[in-house]
């Protein structure tokens, strides 16, 4: 598949003759730890609009977007039926992540694939070991600094798209008040939010959501 050849680990920092790393002797802009060839990916499926990666976890997947939130729920990139589905962005979102709040959905698989590892963020220790994700898009890459993770009903306000600063402040307060880990990250009014959502089983129609802020990187 083309997808196997479209993602590469970024080259490691080179050492100079005196043993110093290049980053130690001249400033460099932060970059994502992987590179993605979106042109090649979109030859396979034009619905691929991003790539989500979390170091040292199973999360290393393309993200698609279709005209609704149902198509990729149980479909792979080639359209075949599969219980695991594909990670997909809410159809109401701008594909370039320019919205104040972007939502990506994925299944909670028992083998930890897809979003099966998200509920592990209920433990402070796991958060501290995996506090950053990366979201890559064709035009801009982002570092995702996680700020909250909690269980919520499937009809909670986190799935509504807030239109005012007051609504957004309310969303943030709810997330931080209910978070099962403490991040200590300061969130500004200008920060764009990313929410990852998966099924949870504490009660009927429960969801585990992981929220972070998007920071542009090279």
- Does 199 participate in catalysis according to the annotation? yes
Q: Of residues 54, 97, 101, 199, which has the active-site annotation?
A: 199
Q: Of residues 54, 97, 101, 107, which has the active-site annotation?
A: 107
Give the DSSP letter of residue 69: S
What is the C-alpha to C-alpha distance for residues 103 and 210, in angstroms, rounded to an integer? Answer: 10
Task: Give the number of other CB atoms < 10 A from CB of residue 9.
Answer: 9
- Quick: pLDDT tens for 142-173: 999 999 999 999 999 999 987 787 888 899 99
Beta bridge partners of 52: 61, 135
Average pLDDT of the residues of the chain? 90
Instruction: Walk me through the domains of the chain, giving residue ranges and CATH numbers.
Output: 48-217 (2.40.260.10)
What is the C-alpha to C-alpha distance for residues 86 and 74, in angstroms, rounded to an integer? Answer: 7
- Does 101 participate in catalysis according to the annotation? no
Dihedral through CA 108, CA 109, CA 112, CA 118, nearest 10? 0
- Quick: pLDDT tens for 66-114: 999 999 999 999 999 999 999 999 999 999 999 999 999 999 999 999 9
């Amino acid at each position: 598949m083309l997808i196997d050849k479209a993602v590469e680990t970024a080259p490691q920092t080179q050492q100079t003759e005196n043993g110093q790393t290049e980053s130690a002797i001249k400033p460099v802009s932060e970059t994502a730890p992987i590179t993605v060839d979106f042109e090649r990916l979109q030859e396979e499926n034009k619905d691929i609009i991003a790539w989500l990666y979390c170091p040292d976890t199973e999360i290393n997947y393309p993200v698609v977007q279709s005209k609704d939130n149902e198509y990729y729920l149980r479909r792979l990139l080639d359209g075949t039926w599969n219980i695991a589905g594909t990670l997909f962005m809410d159809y109401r979102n701008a594909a370039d992540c320019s919205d104040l709040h972007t939502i990506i959905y994925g299944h909670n698989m028992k083998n930890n694939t897809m979003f099966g590892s998200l509920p592990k963020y209920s433990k402070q220790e796991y958060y501290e070991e995996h506090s950053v994700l990366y979201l890559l898009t064709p035009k801009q890459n982002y570092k995702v600094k996680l700020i909250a993770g909690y269980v919520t009903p499937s009809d909670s306000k986190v799935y509504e798209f807030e239109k005012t600063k007051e609504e957004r402040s309310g969303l943030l307060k709810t997330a931080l008040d209910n978070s099962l880990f403490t991040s200590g990250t300061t969130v500004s009014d200008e920060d764009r939010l990313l929410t990852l959502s998966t099924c949870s089983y504490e009660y009927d129609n429960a969801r585990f959501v992981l929220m972070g802020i998007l920071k542009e990187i090279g």
